[in-house]
Structures are given as structure tokens and as C-alpha cells.
Structure 1
Amino acid sequence: MIAVVRGIGACVPPKVVTNEHIAGVLDVDTQWIFQRTGIKSRRVVDGDISTLDLAVKAGARAIESSALHSIDLVLVATTSPERLCPAVAPEVANTLGLRGVAAYDISAACSGFVYGLATAKSYIECGIAETILLIGSEAFTKFVNTTDPDTYPIFGDGAGALVIQKGDTGEPGAIGGFDLGSDGALSDALCTPAGGARQRVRDSAGKCAQPADYYLSMEGGTVYENAVARMADSAAAALEKNKMDITKINWMIGHQANIRILQTVAYTLNFPEEKIASNIIDHGNTLAASIPLLLNDYTQRGLLKPGDNLLVSAFGAGFSWGSTVISWPALSSLPKEWD
């Protein structure tokens, strides 16, 4: 028994924020943003649109793509929950008409969807569940400080989802073995300092949290260096675990944080740059939604062929990272647009 991908779906909010807008807010040059990140625009939530809404639309489309409506478990990977408590996954399941099924959130930042893939594979292959809806959904721009030039240009919102089901060995869509890891010693390099139990309103010394403490802070150099090293090492480890040579990989599906990170990881692995899948130019970093959104885009464009071997790798806050290999199946995909 193995875990295989059966369906895919995605959703992005309608509002587009361009580099020109951000450059005007921050008083920086648009080319500075693009050259630093590889991003020209991103979708952002507006009005009442939230993580739940994006997740529901992406999940519904994945279910429709799979033609499977008996779901045993709903997993939502997110860094922008609706509330600290409860998890959003039960609400997603209920809204989709999946009342009574097991549902919970996964919090591993930008690595969340890869961790979700590992969780889904484990549940299926040990017989706990037969069909799982895995969603990565983010409205993270609500947690980004619009006065911070280190973080404001980077992030966008959206959701992507896969339906994963038990299958037979050798079947297209098979999810391979994983390499997963973390380094909590560097957790402060990419974090939201306030809002949790450590610092709700005041810290342990009685000092009041500042408004900026409720938004993401980032030590860019530390994040960049570790992202390159950890993704490259993890991807190589996943290839070894799956007895797969890099020359047999058709596409590198890396977390869309920064185009230069992806290029450097590919160079380290001696992987052709033209086989780096990327949609960061018009999505930005959508955290846990990044990888399924990318898979959906490339499916829509006909770039992922049945039987293609995909090297999937992510790195995020925590620090956390993970990689795997997927043999891509024949899938149909609906448009990702909000309506």
C-alpha cells in the first residue's frame, strides 16, 4: 500500500499588489524589489477574505479534480490561522460538508505542506486513513508589517490542495520517502515575537510588547544561508532515500521564497536551471500554500506530464525543512481564480 496523489486545486484572492505599489509605500525602487526577490506582484487578501475562505475553495476544487468525495481526514498547513484556538481545519471540513471527519492544523511555516505530505503518507500507509484532503492555506499578509522593507515585498496569499489516497506500488502519483529536519536554535531569526504564550501583551520581565512585535521579523542573511544549505542537503538526502538520481528528476518543486535561493540550490545539486519550477514572479512567498499553488499552476499550464519525477523541497521558520520525490499522475485542474 502506498500514498498517491488523486486530485489538485488552488485559490488566490482577487486583489493584486504590484511592486510599484510597495515601492511607493516603502520609498524604494521597483527593480530593487525584483532583483532581490524575483517577485513582481502578489495576490493579497482584502475585506473579509481569510485563510478559511481560501482553504475551502482550494479544497473543493481538489475534491472535484479527484472525483472522490469520501474524505477521512482534513489537514490544513498554515502559518496564518483564523484564531490561536481552535484550529481552522475542522471549520474547513464542516464548510465542505465533511462533518464528523478528523481534521487538524499543521504548523511548520513554509515547510508545512511538505510536513503535511509526510503526515498524509504515514496515515495512509499505516491504515489509519484511506483518503486525505491536504491543504496549504495562507492569509499571511495580515501578519506582515507594511513599513518593513525586509518582509513587506516578499509575501502573498493563497491556497493549494491535494487529495491523497491509498494506491498500489508503481502507480502514478506515488509519494516517496522523506527527509525532514529542524534547528530550533535559530528560531528567533524568523519569527513573530508577540501574540503567543511567551509574550501576549508583556514579556516575562513585564516589558510591554511593541506594535511591531506582533508582525514577522526576519534576519535575512541568516535565513538565506540556512535555506540554501538545508534545502540542498535535504533534497540530496531525499534523492538517496528514494534511490533516485538527480538526472532522473524532471522538475524541482521548491518552496517559492526567493528565486536566488532556488537557483543556488539547483546549482549546488548540479541541476539544470531551466528545470526549476517557479511562479514566484506573480505570487511571492505564500508560505505553506507555495508548493501546492506551484503544482496547480504547472498542471494548468500542461508543464507537468504524467510520469514526471518531481523533487519537492521546502525550508521555513523554526527553522524547519523537508524534501521528498513524487511521481506525477495525470490530473485535471480547475482555475485558481477566486470566482
Structure 2
Amino acid sequence: MTLRAVVRGVGHYLPQRVVPNSEFEARLDTTDEWIRSRSGIERRHFAAEGETTSDLATHAAQAALADAGMQADEIDTIILATSTADFTFPSAATMVQARLGMTGGFAFDVQAVCAGFVYALANANALIVSGQSRRVLVIGAETFSRIMDWTDRSTSVLFGDGAGALVLEAQEGAGTPADRGILATDLHSDGRYRDLLYVDGGVSTQTTGYLRMQGNQVFRHAVEKLAATAETALEKAGLTSADIDWIVPHQANIRIIQGTAKKMGLPMERVVVTVQDHGNTSAASIPLALSVGKARGQIRQGDLLVTEAIGGGLAWGAVVLRW
């Protein structure tokens, strides 16, 4: 028998404030049509004043636990993927741990920007397969509205805030591609491409900084690298693109999503798309899409999913998961 990290529950949380594209027209040289045509985004959510990343993460975690029919004290590990934690330290994960009333186990953050949730899933899978953890709460949460340069129309219209979470549990499988749970992971990074997507500030420079991006260059890398990492993860799992029920991609840009699906030979009818409603929520985008996809009735038990993401670093990767 083989230990697998199987999804027991999923949930998400979005801040109350909805920001349509029209809000940007008053202060930027942009239009709703321009934003939609280049990104597919129609609206996004922004956190309220005083609402933090750990707040969003806690709400999403509570929703996932409720979906799993579990209490917080049944979880032994929390992994929170974020680039916008409340403080330099402690980790946002430990803050969520306290708010959930979880006094045992351990919690930590993972920082791989938009690829953060894929990295977090890979870490959770390794902990479960090794026997270190039995039940892991994996969260992606971001408040990217805090690091936007509102004079830059090329970036400020693209990002939003939100959180999503999965509960993973160790279960025995037969060791075949028919097993439920995480079947394979594939991770990469290449620091030579740092200047394509980064924040120009940080603790050691004693500044907060703003997000900076060379959009055309990121697009060029994204389609090629996302398709390649997805294919590699499928190969590790002993599967092919023909076996996929759903691609659940990082929701950065509809053109990247469409380009990656085309490169993998899959129709858009087999892609879960939420970018129009959420914008790019970085590490939160995949768990948000998983939760919404389940709520829509798209994702069902037994479906084969591929999630893939790329973000600053550059860092990218994919996970093959049977729901």
C-alpha cells in the first residue's frame, strides 16, 4: 500500500469589497474594455482597512474545515502560502493556528509568490508521505492590494485579495494512478529572472516597495514553463494530458491560461477559470479556483486535476491530484 495525501475539504474567502474595472477609469489611462481584452479580468476583491492576510486565511481555513467535517484540533500541520504576511515574523500560519484554537502540531509559511500554493502542496504531500503529518491544512492567502503602485496601469488593475484552503489527510492507496490524492509534484525556480517580477522593497532595505513586472517577458516564460511542468508531473504520475478532467491553473491572465491549455492540447471547456471574478490573487488563486470549481459542480470526487503556477523568482511548478 502507498500513503496518499487525499483532499478531505476545501473552502475559500473573499473580502466584501468588490472592485469593478470601472473604478480604475477615473484615476488611470485605462478602460474596462482594455483590462478585459488583455487580462480577462472584470472585477476583483480588496481587503478592508485593517483586514489582514491572516484574517482572510483564517476564514478560508474555517470553511475548509467545515467542508471536511473536522475540528481544528484534528489538524497537526498548517502550511500557509503567502507573499503578503501580516508581519515580518511570526509567520501568518501560526497566527491562523492560534485563531483556530489549534494548540498542538506546527505551522509555517511558504513564500514562492504565485507558485506558493503549488509549493505548499508539495511540502504537505512530503510531510504526509513521510509520516511526519497525518492531516495538513494548506492555505493560500494574499493581500496584494497593499503592494500596488496605483499609478501603474500595467500592474494595479491585475491583482486582487483573497484566500483558499484545502484539508489533506493521509490515506492508503494501491500505489497506482487510480488512487485518490496527490499523485505527483514538480517544482522549479530560476533566480536569473528575478527582475521580471518582484517587489522593489523589503525588510533589509527598510522599505515596503511596490510590485514591478515586465508583463510581456513573464507571459513568454509562463506558457512554455507551465505546459512543461504540467507534462512532467503527469509523466511522473504515469498519466498523460488525455487523462485530465480539469486543469486548475493559477489565475493570472486569461491569455496565459488559454495559451497553456492549447500547448497541452486541451480545450478550454476542461479548464476551471475564475480570473474574471478574482483577478490575480497570487498564492490564493489555485485554492480559490478549486473551491469555486467544486461549488459550481465542475470538480467531483475521482476527477483527475492538474494545477500549475508560475510567479516571481521565477518559481513554477505543477501538482497532479485525483480529487
Q: TM-score normalized by structure 2?
A: 0.95
**Could you tell me which of 201, 206, 228 is aligned with 1:200?**
206
Cα distance between partner residues in 1 of 2:104 and 2:272? 37
User: 2:142–2:281: 8 Å Cα contact kept in structure 1?
Assistant: yes
**Whole-Å separation in 2 of the counterparts to 1:23 and 1:229:** 33
1:172, CA displacement in angstroms? 6.0
Spell out the pairing of 1:188-227 with structure 2 (5 A cutoff).
188-197=195-204, 199-200=205-206, 214-227=209-222
Q: Equivalent residue for 1:76? A: 80
Unaligned runs of 5+ in 2: none
Alignment of 1:119-134 (within 5 A): 119-134=123-138
CA–CA separation in structure 2 for the residues paired with 1:47 and 1:200: 23
Q: What amino acid is the match of 1:186?
A: Y
Partner of 2:90: 86
Q: How does 1:127-206 map onto structure 2 within 5 Å?
A: 127-170=131-174, 173-197=180-204, 199-200=205-206
Q: Per-residue CA shift, 1:191-212, capped at 9, x if unaligned? A: 1111232x225xxxxxxxxxxx
Q: Which residue of 1 aligns with 2:240?
A: 245
1:271, distance to aligned residue in structure 2 (A): 1.0
Are the counterparts in 2 of residues 93 and 101 from structure 1 also a CA contact under 8 Å? no
**Secondary structure class of the residue paired with 1:214:** coil
Work out whether residues 11 and 291 of structure 2, in 8 Å CA contact, stay in contact via their aligned partners in 1.
yes
Pairing of 1:185-334 with structure 2 (within 5 A): 185-197=192-204, 199-200=205-206, 214-328=209-323
Opposite residue 34 of structure 2, the aligned amino acid is W
**CA–CA separation in structure 2 for the residues paired with 1:226 and 1:239:** 20
Q: Deviations over 1:166-221 (max 9, x none)?
A: 00115864111111100100112111111232x225xxxxxxxxxxx711011111
Q: 1:46 to 1:81 in 2, by over 3 A?
A: same
> Residue 42 of structure 1: which of 19, 41, 44 is its match?
44
Is the 8 Å Cα contact of residues 230 and 321 (structure 1) preserved in structure 2?
A: yes
1:101 CA drift (Å): 2.4
| Alignment coverage as a number of residue pairs | 316
- Structure 1 stretches of 4+ with a deviation exceeding 6 A read none
Whole-angstrom distance in 2 between the partners of 1:259 and 1:194: 29
CA distance in 1 between counterparts of 2:126 and 2:25 reads 45
Aligned to 2:4: 2
Structure 1 residue 27: deviation in Å? 2.5
Letter in 1 for 2:280: N
Partner of 2:156, secondary structure, is coil
CA contact (8 A) 1:311 1:324 kept: yes
Percent of aligned pairs with the same amino acid: 39
Q: Which amino acid aligns with 1:163?
A: V
Quick check: 22-31 or 295-304, which moved more?
Answer: 22-31
Cα distance per residue 1:216-259 (max 9 Å; x no partner): 01111111111111101101111111111211111111100000
1:272-319: per-residue Cα shift (whole Å, max 9, x none)?
Answer: 122111000010000000000000001111111221111111111110
How many Å separate the matches in 1 of 2:9 and 2:298? 16
Contact 1:172–1:306, Cα closer than 8 Å, also in 2: no
Contact 1:12–1:43 (8 Å) recurs in 2: yes
Quick check: 2:198–2:212 contact (8 Å CA) kept in 1?
yes
- SS at 1:236 equivalent: helix
Contact 2:29 2:153 in 1 (8 A): no
Letter aligned with residue 73 of structure 1: T
1 or 2, which has the higher helix percentage? 2
Residue identity matched to 1:257 = A
Measured in 2, the distance between the counterparts of 1:311 and 1:98 equals 31
Give the distance between the partners of 2:27 and 2:266, measured in 1 at CA.
Answer: 38
Q: 1:128 to 1:275 in 2, by over 3 A?
A: same
